[in-house]
Chains A and B, each alone.
Chain A
Amino acid sequence: MKYNQGVNIIADCIVNSLGFNTQEIFDQMRAGKLGMQEVKGLTQSEPTAMLSQIDRVRWNQIWDQTNTLPLKEQFTFFEQLMIYVIQKVVKTAQIDPKQKNVLFLFSTTKGNIELLDSNLQHNFDAERVHIWESAEIVTQYFQNNNQPIILSNACISGTQALLIGKSILENQPYEHLVVVGADLITPFVVAGFQSFKALSPTPCRPFDLNRDGLNIGEGAAAVVLSKTKKGIVSIENGAVTNDANHISGPSRTGEGLYRALIKTLKSVDLSEISFINAHGTATLYNDEMESIAFQRANLLHLPVNSYKGYFGHTLGAAGLIESILSAHALNQGIIFPTIGFQELGISKPLDIVTTERNCNKSFALKTASGFAGCNVVLLIKKGGKDA
């Protein structure tokens, strides 16, 4: 066993409602820009929905201007996004995705779910709705012959994928892992969350007294994890747990998240943690559950933020997108504010970050929770480890 090796994030790319690469999105966030807007007529449940959509016009322009990309019509939008972010990260990392020691790891909740809609005109095979089919098409495009790993563990998928990636690199003969996360806004997921009455008609307000639900977003992200090259952060530790309580409601005692925090924090000095990037969806129950779990884990002194107010809840991709942005923030010594938050609306006195702060500590925590009662905590360290 080689537990002492570092696993580092050596390249990353994000596409979401705020932009088409990590730097652009990071800059937009620092400028206080929001990615959500009112969209009419997506479902019959409500006349409008507040959504964080990727700019399709700009997407088409970017695709057409990039001569290394394949014919767009051969791939669904979901697959196009994954191809785009993967191509960016393998180039930045200077790795050859065809190599045997490169493995692909996908994370998503619904993939090409819109292909189930018989009202939608498309030329794709019905089989394409199966996520493994889509993942294999993308893997084959990059001529990688390893069987990809695909995780579909609700809204913790993206963060959990980084932990699984670390574990695979530490225990199997791969040198680099391409971790991908993507999910789209579809009438399917919007109608579903509307049926739960979980959506806010206005930009969401994580941890705020007047929070009234989440905004659905969409996005894709990829990172290259390496055990031989140095990166902006290393994946230090983490844990995945279950509430064993309810399939669609968070635990009232924050049990699963608390347990994941305790397991993760064994290995770190709390005074070295810069911030917690929480799930912070802005639903009543999620944010309250998180406050209870953080209090139980004695973390009330730590700055807490949520990025959901910038670009909504990007579902299975959220954990990967938010981990990447937290990695860059940690690396640059800043802590993002929680856009949308004004007045504390949870029962425990968390230190919710309201304006950008500077902090040069070494560690950050990312947490997420999802349907089926799953929770994840990830600990990242600035600067990466020497490989």
Chain B
Amino acid sequence: MHNVQRAITIRNHQVILQGELLFQRDQSTPNARFFSELYKELKLTYPKFFKMDPLAKLGFLAAELLLNSLSAEEKEEMKILLACSHSSIESDTMFQNTISDESNYYPSPSLFVYTLPNIVIGEIAIRHRIYGENGLYLTPPNNKKSIIETLHKQIKWEDNRYALIGYLDYYKNKYEVDFYLIHS
């Protein structure tokens, strides 16, 4: 891919930024704890993080590492185009569980909002004050590479200075994220 300024991958409890291992935890660490420990490692003070669902936490953390060198002006009109496979299935399942059982019925708005996969984009946009184009695409897991290239092609079509593109997924306790910062 052309014009990639920075790249980050998080999977198997390893954070790899620009090809270098930045942070890791033992494979046995629960995902939620891994995310919290990475948050602490980054010395963040953003209480909203703890309200997010796993998909949003994952995207939020990756974006944090990718965008921390950019100025407010550079971020303002950025595009955020992300793809994922299993949508918001983790939160979908949790929300379904709150309405399936007549004797234990407790749907909540704070959970329902995360049953949209593009909420992760909203969380990143709020954190970094990004007002540009945004879109969440769905794709089969075996089409991961190709969708990133499709999103990349879309970026080149317009002369926007910076774009965040990539793939993230959270399904059955397995997660992964591959984000790229593109500069035109």
Q: Is B96 an interface residue (CB 8 A)?
A: yes
| B122 close to A371 (CB less than 8 A) | yes
| B119 close to A247 (CB less than 8 A) | yes
| A131 close to B138 (CB less than 8 A) | yes
| A150 close to B137 (CB less than 8 A) | yes
A249 to chain B, nearest CB (A): 10
B170 to chain A, nearest CB (A): 13
Q: Is A147 an interface residue (CB 8 A)?
A: yes
With A117-B100, A130-B85, A188-B96 in contact, is A373–B133 under 8 Å at CB? no
Q: Is A151 an interface residue (CB 8 A)?
A: yes
Tell me, in angstroms, the Cα distance from A171 to B151 when the chains sit together.
13
| B115 close to A192 (CB less than 8 A) | yes
With A151-B137, A372-B119, A373-B122 in contact, is A242–B132 under 8 Å at CB? yes
For A259, the chain B residues whose CB sits under 8 A away are 131
Instruction: Closest A residue to B114 by CB, please name it.
Output: A247
B84 to chain A, nearest CB (A): 9
| B119 close to A371 (CB less than 8 A) | yes
Interface residues on B, range: 35 or more
Tell me, in angstroms, the Cα distance from A110 to B95 when the chains sit together.
13
A320 to chain B, nearest CB (A): 15
| B109 close to A196 (CB less than 8 A) | yes
For B119, the chain A residues whose CB sits under 8 A away are 247, 371-372
Instruction: Closest A residue to B171 by CB, please name it.
Output: A130
| A153 close to B135 (CB less than 8 A) | yes
Contact with A along B113-142 (1 / 0, CB 8 A): 101111101110110111111111111100
| A240 close to B109 (CB less than 8 A) | no
Q: Quick one: which of A237-254 are within 8 Å of B by CB? A: 239-248
Contact with A along B93-106 (1 / 0, CB 8 A): 10110011010010
For A187, the chain B residues whose CB sits under 8 A away are 99
Tell me, in angstroms, the Cα distance from A130 to B132 when the chains sit together.
28
A40 to chain B, nearest CB (A): 16
| B96 close to A192 (CB less than 8 A) | no
Q: Quick one: which of A243-272 are within 8 Å of B by CB? A: 243-248, 255-256, 259
> A110, A167, A241, A248: which contacts B113 (Cβ < 8 A)?
A248
Tell me, in angstroms, the Cα distance from A164 to B99 when the chains sit together.
35
For A256, the chain B residues whose CB sits under 8 A away are 131
| A160 close to B99 (CB less than 8 A) | no
Find the residue from A171, A192, A194, A240 having the highest chain B CB count within 10 A.
A192
Q: Is B87 an interface residue (CB 8 A)?
A: yes
Q: Is A136 an interface residue (CB 8 A)?
A: yes
| B126 close to A116 (CB less than 8 A) | no
Tell me, in angstroms, the Cα distance from A10 to B74 when the chains sit together.
39
Q: Is A154 an interface residue (CB 8 A)?
A: yes
| A116 close to B131 (CB less than 8 A) | no
| B129 close to A171 (CB less than 8 A) | no
Q: Is A44 an interface residue (CB 8 A)?
A: yes
Contact with B along A128-160 (1 / 0, CB 8 A): 011111011000000000010111111000001
Tell me, in angstroms, the Cα distance from A245 to B125 when the chains sit together.
8
Tell me, in angstroms, the Cα distance from A45 to B105 when the chains sit together.
8
Q: Is A67 an interface residue (CB 8 A)?
A: no
For B95, the chain A residues whose CB sits under 8 A away are 188, 192
For B146, the chain A residues whose CB sits under 8 A away are 147
Tell me, in angstroms, the Cα distance from A196 to B96 when the chains sit together.
16
Q: Is B157 an interface residue (CB 8 A)?
A: yes
Tell me, in angstroms, the Cα distance from A246 to B126 when the chains sit together.
7
With A117-B96, A372-B119, A372-B121 in contact, is A153–B105 under 8 Å at CB? no
Q: Is B71 an interface residue (CB 8 A)?
A: no
| B154 close to A153 (CB less than 8 A) | no
Instruction: Closest A residue to B78 by CB, please name it.
Output: A242
With A116-B93, A244-B130, A247-B126 in contact, is A154–B118 under 8 Å at CB? yes
For B116, the chain A residues whose CB sits under 8 A away are 109, 152, 154, 371-372
Chain A residues within 8 Å of B, Cβ to Cβ: 1, 43-45, 109-110, 113, 116-119, 129-133, 135-136, 147, 149-154, 160, 164, 167, 170-172, 187-188, 191-196, 239-248, 255-256, 259, 370-374
Task: Please give 10 more A-B residue pairs, beta carbons under 8 A apart, in addition to A45-B105, A242-B134.
Answer: A118-B100, A131-B87, A132-B139, A152-B137, A191-B107, A195-B112, A240-B135, A371-B118, A372-B118, A374-B121
Task: Please name the 3 residue pairs, one residue from A and one from B, whose CB atoms are nearest each other, closest first.
Answer: A372-B122, A192-B112, A150-B138
Report 6 cross-chain contacts, Cβ distance below 8 Å, ordered by A residue: A130-B89, A147-B139, A154-B118, A240-B133, A247-B126, A259-B131
